[in-house]
Amino acid sequence: MVREVVHWLRCDRGGVFLDGTLGTGGHTLAIFTHSPQTTRVIGLDRDPEALAVARRRLEPFSDRLSLVHGTFAEIKKILPNLGVPKVDGILLDLGLSTLQLESPGRGFSFRREEPLDLRMDRSRGVPAGAWLEQASEKELARVLKEYGEEKKARLLARRIKSYRPQGSFWTTTELADLIARILPRSGRIHPATRTFQALRIAVNEELKQLARFLEDFLAVLTEGGRICVIAYHSLEDRMVKQTFLRLERGIGDALGLQDPQRPQGQPVFKRVVTKAIIPSDEEVRKNPRSRGAKMRVGERG
């Protein structure tokens, strides 16, 4: 949804933009390409491998680019450290990057055998295989139900916890094959897809990170600044939708954003579009992974 991001962030106006999920730099490249030469971008990513690729790709813009190894949940700490109190636009694309899906050893795909890792930052946290060993059956069932929306979460959790990996650690194919033996396949989606999604969300604390960001982003957005969030999971999209609605119905004093120049009772935030923006048919044809994407856009009042 690159064209939509450039349009709704109003990149032609320039300013300082925060790409909170830099990945390999595709969106930031588009921001620079469609912005005045005075535009600056702060790019954050928790994946050091993605940052390395983005650094090379965006080298022509290095004098206007700040790259940070960190998460968007830390913006209230990261931006002041860069001498940037506020930004004019924020982008979050919460999907997995092609690099993460295709890089060997990451465990994001069960089409090849490799350690079950699933961490976006392999320098922190525990791999998904280790998490599986540590989690109780009750906790695993909760994660599968809440994060994977798996209808047979309790059955699956019980069978997974009773299984012992053949080697010293879980592999992607071993877990996927086990799930395929437990759950019948329906349609094109592999029965292990929801479990891998749930484990990835749990291992990376993705919903916790998003919740923290949604509590903080308004404080670092300039008046008239915009935010675009692209979500691929119903839980993430629901969090964004509900936060935008809550902020739109609130007022500055209630949100701790007092401004003596603001008329009493005036909201500090508004939704630019009331419904989520979805990819065009053309984009879905070119990039089938974008099929479930929903982008929500808001503006600081």
CB 169 within 8 A of CB 116: yes
The answer on 118 and 51 residing in a single domain is: no
Encode pLDDT of 182-240 as tens digits: 998 877 889 999 999 999 999 999 999 999 999 999 999 999 999 999 999 999 999 99
pLDDT at residue 252, as a whole number: 53
Q: Is the pLDDT of residue 72 over 80?
A: yes
The answer on 9 and 92 residing in a single domain is: yes
Instruction: Tell me which H or E stretch contains 209.
Output: helix 206-216
pLDDT at residue 184, as a whole number: 84
pLDDT at residue 97, as a whole number: 81
The answer on 27 and 68 residing in a single domain is: yes
The answer on 50 and 12 residing in a single domain is: yes
The answer on 199 and 54 residing in a single domain is: no
pLDDT at residue 164, as a whole number: 83
Q: Which residue(s) pair with 270 in the sheet?
A: 299
Please give the order of strands across the beta sheet that includes 87-93: 65-69, 40-45, 16-19, 87-93, 221-231, 294-300, 269-271
The answer on 167 and 213 residing in a single domain is: no
pLDDT band for position 261 (50/70/90)? low
Lowest mean pLDDT among 60-69, 110-119, 265-274: 265-274
Give the Cα separation of 186 and 34 in Å (integer): 43
The answer on 232 and 95 residing in a single domain is: yes
Give the Cα separation of 43 and 51 in Å (integer): 9
Average pLDDT over residues 249-273: 69
Q: Residue 198 sits in which domain range?
A: 104-204
pLDDT band for position 287 (50/70/90)? confident
Select from 162, 183, 204 the last residue of a domain.
Answer: 204
Domain count, the chain: 2
Q: Is the pLDDT of residue 278 over 90?
A: yes
The answer on 80 and 228 residing in a single domain is: yes
CATH number at residue 12: 3.40.50.150
Encode pLDDT of 100-152 as tens digits: 888 888 899 888 899 999 999 998 899 999 999 999 999 999 999 999 999 99
The answer on 285 and 252 residing in a single domain is: yes
DSSP string, 42-82: EEEES-HHHHHHHHHHTGGGGGGEEEEES-GGGHHHHHHHT
pLDDT at residue 88, as a whole number: 98
Helix (H/G/I), strand (E/B), else coil: 221: strand
The answer on 152 and 191 residing in a single domain is: yes
Query: β-strands 87-93, 221-231: how paired?
Result: parallel
pLDDT at residue 259, as a whole number: 54
The answer on 212 and 293 residing in a single domain is: yes
Cα four-point dihedral sign 183, 186, 192, 193: negative
CATH number at residue 176: 1.10.150.170
Q: Is the pLDDT of residue 25 over 70?
A: yes
The answer on 155 and 278 residing in a single domain is: no
Select from 204, 233, 250 the last residue of a domain.
Answer: 204
Select from 152, 180, 204 the last residue of a domain.
Answer: 204
pLDDT at residue 265, as a whole number: 62
